A and B are shown apart, each in its own frame.
Chain A
C-alpha cells in the first residue's frame, strides 16, 4: 500500500505540469517532451547512463580477479576471512563513505600529498569534483558488492568440472575462459544488475564527489524538488529513471536465461 500508492502518484504527477507556481492537473506528456527536448535533462540522462556503465564494467574487471583468488587460490579459511574484510567498509555510512573519498582525493588530500612527495607530480592534480571522482567512489562501493556475488557463484562450481577440463588437456587459461567464467556468469550478471540499479539511482556519490562538474539524473530530480518545487517534472524524470532500470532488467534477464540454458 505505502509502496504502490506513492508509485502511482509519481506516475500521475509526471503527467501534470507546473504553470507559474501552481499545479495544472491537465493530463499531458509535456514533461516527457521537456525531458527529451531540453539539453540539460538530455545530457543528465546520457551522463547517468555513461557513468553507470563505466562503473559496472570497471567494477567487474576489478572484482572478478579478487573473487577468483579468494575462491580458488588462497586456503578456504583465509579466503573467508579475506572476503569478510573485503566487504567491511560496506557498512560505513553512505554519506560518510563519499566524504572519506573527498578526504583522499581533495587537492590537499592523501593522494595528492603522496604523489607530490614521491616527486611524480609538481602541483596538485584535481580529482575531486570531476566525473573521475564519482566513478572512483562508485567503483569502490560496487567492487565490494560484486566480489561478494561473484565469489558466491564461483564457490558453487564443482571442482570436478575444472579438473575434468584440465584432465582433457585444456590449459589453465582455456579452463578459465571456457569453463570457469561461463559458469560464474550468473553471479556477474546479478552483481552487474544490482550495481546498475543502485548506481544510476544514487544521488549522494555524484553530488559529493562529482560536485557541480556535471549533472546526473538523480541530481536533476532533487534539484527539481528542492530548487524549483516542480514535482511533476521530478516525477517525469523519475519515470525515465525507472524506464532505464526496467530496460536494464530485461537485458540482463535475457542474458541470464541464455547462460543458464
Chain B
C-alpha cells in the first residue's frame, strides 16, 4: 500500500513536470528546426533561424530598446525604492504603515490598467507615445518590489553600524556612502535584477505606450501575426536563456556578497 502510494506520487510528479516543461522544451527544440514550420517531425539541428534572427534589424533594434528601458527603469526603481525604504526604516514616520500601503498597492492593479492610465495621461498632456513613457510605466510597476526587497534587507545590524559611525564623527553623507549602501549592496543588486527582468518581460504597458520604437516583447508579439515561425522560437529561446543567466548570476553575486558581510 505504501509502495503503491509512492509510485502514484512519483508518477504524478513526473506528469506535472512534463506539463511544466513541455512548452519550453518544444520551443527550444524547434528553434533548431531545419524547415519552415516549428512543428513535428523534427528535422535538424540547424542554426539557420538564429542567423536569420541576428540579421533581423527590427528584432535587434527592439532588443536594444528593451535593454535600455530595462536598465534605466530598474536603476530608477531601485534608487527610489532605496530612498523610500531608508525613510520608512530609519525615520519611522508616523504614517509608515500608510506609506508602505501606498507604495505596495500598484502590485494589485493590473498592468493593463496602469498602462491605460499612463496612456490617457500622455494624451491629456499631448505627449507622444515613446520609450520614455514605457520607462515611467516600468518604474511604477517595479517600485513596490524594489521597495520591499530593500526594506527586507534593512535590519538592526546596519542601524547599529550607522550609529557607531555617527558617534565616531562621520557626516550623514559619509554614513550613507560608506556604511548604508555597502551593507545593503546585495539587496540593491537583487532589487535591480528583479526590476530589470520584469521590465524586460513586460508587454501590455509597452504595447500601449509605444508606436514605432518598440520593445522586444512587442516586436515578438507583432511577429506572431505571421503564424508559427522557427525564428520566433529562436528569439524566445534566447530571451529565456538570457533571463535565466542574469538571475543565476545575480543569485551567485548576492550570495557571495552576503557571505562576505557576515
Residues of A close to B207: CB separation below 8 A:
222
Are the C-beta atoms of A104 and B23 separated by less than 8 Å?
yes
Are the C-beta atoms of B23 and A103 separated by less than 8 Å?
yes
Are the C-beta atoms of A140 and B19 separated by less than 8 Å?
yes
Separation in Å of the B13 CB from the closest CB of chain A? 6
Are the C-beta atoms of B239 and A93 separated by less than 8 Å?
yes
Q: Which of B108, B110, B124, B239 has the most CB of A within 10 A?
A: B110
Residues of A close to B203: CB separation below 8 A:
94-95, 203-204
Separation in Å of the A124 CB from the closest CB of chain B? 11
Are the C-beta atoms of A110 and B39 separated by less than 8 Å?
yes
Separation in Å of the B136 CB from the closest CB of chain A? 5
Closest to B8 in A: A65
Residues of A close to B21: CB separation below 8 A:
89
Q: Which among B20, B116, B143, B235 is the interface contact of A221 at CB below 8 angstroms?
A: B116
Query: A9-B124, A242-B113 known; A143 and B16 CB under 8 Å?
Result: yes
**CA gap between A95 and B111 in the complex, in Å:** 14
Q: Is B37 an interface residue when CB atoms closer than 8 A count as contact?
A: yes
Are the C-beta atoms of B113 and A201 separated by less than 8 Å?
yes
Interface residues as binary, A55-74 with B (CB distance below 8 Å gives 1, 0 otherwise): 00000001001100100010
Are the C-beta atoms of A93 and B217 separated by less than 8 Å?
yes
Residues of B close to A222: CB separation below 8 A:
112, 204, 207-208
Closest to B113 in A: A238
Q: Is B27 an interface residue when CB atoms closer than 8 A count as contact?
A: yes
Query: A73-B9, A93-B201, A143-B20 known; A100 and B116 CB under 8 Å?
Result: no
Interface residues as binary, B1-34 with A (CB distance below 8 Å gives 1, 0 otherwise): 0000010010011001101111110110010000
Residues of B close to A103: CB separation below 8 A:
23, 26-27, 30, 38-39, 228, 233
Q: Is A13 an interface residue when CB atoms closer than 8 A count as contact?
A: yes
**CA gap between A208 and B233 in the complex, in Å:** 15
Query: A13-B120, A66-B16, A69-B9 known; A100 and B23 CB under 8 Å?
Result: yes
Separation in Å of the A220 CB from the closest CB of chain B? 11
Interface residues as binary, A220-249 with B (CB distance below 8 Å gives 1, 0 otherwise): 011001000001001100100110010001
Q: Which among A92, A143, A200 is the interface contact of B236 at CB below 8 angstroms?
A: A92
Q: Which among B41, B112, B120, B235 is the interface contact of A201 at CB below 8 angstroms?
A: B112
Are the C-beta atoms of B121 and A6 separated by less than 8 Å?
yes
Q: Is A113 an interface residue when CB atoms closer than 8 A count as contact?
A: yes
Interface residues as binary, B110-139 with A (CB distance below 8 Å gives 1, 0 otherwise): 111110111111011000000000001001
Closest to A74 in B: B13
**CA gap between A73 and B13 in the complex, in Å:** 11
Q: Is B243 an interface residue when CB atoms closer than 8 A count as contact?
A: yes
Are the C-beta atoms of A3 and B39 separated by less than 8 Å?
no
**CA gap between A140 and B119 in the complex, in Å:** 31
Are the C-beta atoms of A225 and B117 separated by less than 8 Å?
no
Interface residues as binary, B90-125 with A (CB distance below 8 Å gives 1, 0 otherwise): 000000000000000110111111101111110110
Which residues in chain B, 176-225, are within 8 Å of chain A measured between CB atoms? 197, 200-201, 203-204, 207-208, 216-217, 220-221, 224
Are the C-beta atoms of B116 and A110 separated by less than 8 Å?
no
Q: Is A76 an interface residue when CB atoms closer than 8 A count as contact?
A: no
**CA gap between A141 and B181 in the complex, in Å:** 36
Q: Which among B13, B24, B37, B105 is the interface contact of A92 at CB below 8 angstroms?
A: B24
Are the C-beta atoms of B117 and A208 separated by less than 8 Å?
no
Q: Is B140 an interface residue when CB atoms closer than 8 A count as contact?
A: yes
Residues of A close to B224: CB separation below 8 A:
95, 99, 208
Query: A95-B203, A222-B112 known; A7 and B117 CB under 8 Å?
Result: yes
Q: Is A22 an interface residue when CB atoms closer than 8 A count as contact?
A: no
Are the C-beta atoms of A91 and B243 separated by less than 8 Å?
yes
Separation in Å of the B76 CB from the closest CB of chain A? 10
**CA gap between A234 and B40 in the complex, in Å:** 41
Are the C-beta atoms of A2 and B232 separated by less than 8 Å?
no
**CA gap between A86 and B21 in the complex, in Å:** 8
Q: Is B247 an interface residue when CB atoms closer than 8 A count as contact?
A: yes
Residues of B close to A86: CB separation below 8 A:
16-17, 20
Q: Is A218 an interface residue when CB atoms closer than 8 A count as contact?
A: yes
The 4 closest A-B pairs by CB, nearest first: A6-B117, A201-B110, A100-B23, A96-B236
Show the binding face of B for A, using Cβ within 8 Å: 6, 9, 12-13, 16-17, 19-24, 26-27, 30, 37-41, 105-106, 108-114, 116-121, 123-124, 136, 139-140, 143, 197, 200-201, 203-204, 207-208, 216-217, 220-221, 224, 228, 232-233, 235-236, 239-240, 243-244, 247
15 residue pairs bridging A and B, Cβ less than 8 Å apart: A6-B116, A6-B121, A9-B124, A66-B13, A89-B21, A93-B220, A96-B236, A100-B24, A101-B23, A103-B27, A104-B26, A110-B26, A201-B110, A234-B116, A241-B110
